[in-house]
Amino acid sequence: MCGRYSQTASLEEISRLFGVTERLNLPPRYNIAPTQDAPVVRLDKDGARQLLQMRWGLIPFWAKDQKMGNRLINARAEAAATAPAFRDAFKARHCLVAADGFYEWRNEGGKKQPWRITLTDGGPFAFAGLWERWRDAAGAWIRSFTILTTDANELVKPIHARMPVILDPKDHEAWLAVGDTKAQAALLRPFPAEAMRAYRVNPIVNNARVDEPACIAPLVDEAVEERKLL
């Protein structure tokens, strides 16, 4: 699964990667946690890409309570097209979730040690996401999203059996489009391990209230830890 991630890229970097023009206030986020708002890209009603903030944890349109979204932060790629909570969004509401790293935990000496996984160049990328809209009792609309997950690649597998789906930039347009869901499902595969790196980080990321640069700082020499995973 993916329970925490980071997005520290500048608005300019995000704009270049995703082809958006909105001038949102996007401070660096070192420890994004479920129920928090985070930047995503979707298509607006005119088919143009739109950058906006959404709540992490998809709330199905039929949910009685927004708390249901607290446990729907991830959707298994193999089942999202048919799962009741996600199937409507899978048909028509895809999004790109802006990120530059994610965290997973491995049991080391009886303790859960967090690791951060990024692209080798440390740059921003997109998780494949689904989004939904839900109206609360006061009539206000809440937009929320979930991150799709798949089997771990060879780099992540020693840490966790699953990983979020990272999309190649050339596949962004195909993922966002409303169309052939079978072809889109084929995009939901592990990202190449050779294009990624992983390193141990401070357990302060366990605390959702901690959102600071120390969350992404390596504990020890990265190269040593990367070799241990191979």
pLDDT band at 179 (very low <50, low <70, confident <90, very high): confident
223 pLDDT higher than 70: no
Q: Which residues pair with 125 in a beta bridge?
A: 99
Going by C-alpha positions, the residue among 215, 189, 211, 213 that lies closest to residue 202 is 215
Phi/psi class of residue 121: alpha, beta or left (left: φ > 0; alpha: ψ in -120 to 50)?
A: alpha
CA distance 8 to 16: 15
Q: Could you tell me the CA-to-CA distances from 209 to 26, 29, 183 in Å, in that order? A: 18, 12, 39
* Amino acid sitting at position 147: I
- Per residue in 119-136, pLDDT (tens digit) is 999 999 999 999 999 999
Full set of structural domains in the chain with CATH: 4-229 (3.90.1680.10)
SS (H, E, C) 91-129: HHCEEEEEECEEEEEEEECCEEEEEEEEECCCCCEEEEE
Instruction: Identify whether 2 is a catalytic site residue.
Output: yes
- For residues 14, 27, 150, 58, the Cα torsion angle rounded to the nearest 10 degrees is -110
pLDDT band at 221 (very low <50, low <70, confident <90, very high): low
Catalytic option among 2, 95, 132, 215:
2
Percent of the chain, pLDDT > 90?
89
Average pLDDT score over residue span 197-218: 97
* DSSP-derived secondary structure letter, 161: S
Catalytic option among 12, 78, 104, 215:
104
The predicted model scores a pTM of: 0.93
Q: Do residues 189 and 171 make contact, with C-beta atoms less than 8 angstroms apart?
A: no
Instruction: Identify whether 225 is a catalytic site residue.
Output: no
- Per residue in 126-176, pLDDT (tens digit) is 999 999 999 998 889 999 999 999 999 999 999 999 999 999 999 999 999
Q: Which pLDDT score, from 0 to 100, does residue 182 have?
A: 84
Give the range among 22-31, 116-125, 219-228 with minimum mean pLDDT.
Answer: 219-228
CA distance 67 to 162: 24
Q: Which pLDDT score, from 0 to 100, does residue 97 have?
A: 98
| 121 class by beta-carbon count within 10 Å (0-12 exposed, 13-18 middle, 19+ buried) | exposed
Q: Which pLDDT score, from 0 to 100, does residue 31 have?
A: 98
Average pLDDT score over residue span 101-111: 95
